[in-house]
Amino acid sequence: MLSDVMEDYLKAIYILQVEHGPPVSTSDIAEYLDKTPPTVTSMVGKLEERGLVDREKYKGVELTREGETVALEVLRHHRLLEAYLTEHLDYSWSEVHDEADTLEHHISEEFERRVADLLGNPTVDPHGDPIPSPDLEPLEEDETNRLSDHGVGERVVVTRVSDRDEEELEYLEQAGVTPGTTLEIVDVAPFGMVTVRAVETAREQSLPESVADSIRVRSAGADEPAQAEANGA
């Protein structure tokens, strides 16, 4: 049986693999989990002994298929719990990450199934992150990019926001920048601020570059801006 900490490591490695591709360096894992590099190296050794990761010296680690399956199961639990907490227990989207982190290790498969059924088997969590399927197939490659990668005049649709910073999520909620929002890039300042306008409400908001980096978007379809403007008229 794996410990909660081992599952946390596997989940972190999977997320980093999806974001940056394998192999994942121990320094990236340490930063993501807020651990020291020696602590990460020790844990990676234990995961390798169990056949959950493959490690290549000086390059990093990659999940084995067994390790990937465990990571996907924990990730499915986590994101279903985030959806359940927001939809049925009145948690805000800024509060659910830590709560789900605690609960994800301790729910049964029956509980998972019932939560999924209650929610209508959602495919994304409140932050727009994809929820792994019940058969735990690897997630499809993310074809979005960062808000900060776009220039003035472009229109984009928010698909995902990072769920790891509570204050940042509160800020984005107040700014009306949530998954599904169509934004127009109004200005990109040389010192890093990105100013956007929500097409539906015409509300403008300046975002620090670090926040813009954490927002994933796709280019808006030809009919989306017009539809949003009609809704806001």
Biggest alpha carbon–alpha carbon distance for the chain: 61
User: Are residues 197 and 186 in contact, defined by beta-carbon separation less than 8 angstroms?
Assistant: yes
d(CA 105, CA 165): 21
pLDDT at 229 over 50: no
d(CA 155, CA 229): 12
Q: Which residue has the tokens 């929610």?
A: 119
Q: What is the fold, at CATH topology level, of the domain defined by 2-62? A: Arc Repressor Mutant, subunit A (1.10.10)
- Length of the chain in terms of residues written: 233
What residues contact residue 131 under an 8 Å CB cut-off, 6+ apart? 75, 76, 79, 80, 83, 122, 123, 124, 125
- The predicted pLDDT at position 199 comes to 92
d(CA 185, CA 129): 23
Secondary structure of the chain in the HEC alphabet?
CCCHHHHHHHHHHHHHHHHHCCCECHHHHHHHHCCCHHHHHHHHHHHHHCCCEEEECCCEEEECHHHHHHHHHHHHHHHHHHHHHHHHCCCCCCCHHHHHHHHCCCCCHHHHHHHHHHHCCCCECCCCCECCCCCCCCCCCCCCEEHHHCCCCCEEEEEEECCCCHHHHHHHHHHCCCCCCEEEEEEECCCCCEEEEECCCCEEEEECHHHHHCEEEEECCCCHHHHHHHHHC
Sign of CA pseudo-dihedral 103, 105, 109, 112: positive
Pick the CATH number of 143-217 from 3.40.30.10, 2.30.30.90, 3.50.50.60, 1.10.274.50: 2.30.30.90
**What are the boundaries of each domain within the chain?**
2-62, 143-217
- The predicted pLDDT at position 225 comes to 52
- The predicted pLDDT at position 222 comes to 60
Q: What is the pLDDT of residues 95-129, one digit of tens each?
A: 999 999 999 999 999 999 999 999 999 999 999 99
* The model's pTM: 0.87
Q: What is the pLDDT of residues 63-90, one digit of tens each?
A: 999 999 999 999 999 999 999 999 999 9
The mean pLDDT of 228-232, rounded to a whole number, is 43
Q: What is the pLDDT of residues 184-227, one digit of tens each?
A: 999 998 877 899 999 998 899 999 988 999 999 999 876 655 44
Domains 2-62 and 143-217 agree in fold: no
Confidence of residue 165 (pLDDT cuts 50, 70, 90): confident
pLDDT at 154 over 80: yes
- The predicted pLDDT at position 79 comes to 97
pLDDT at 61 over 80: yes
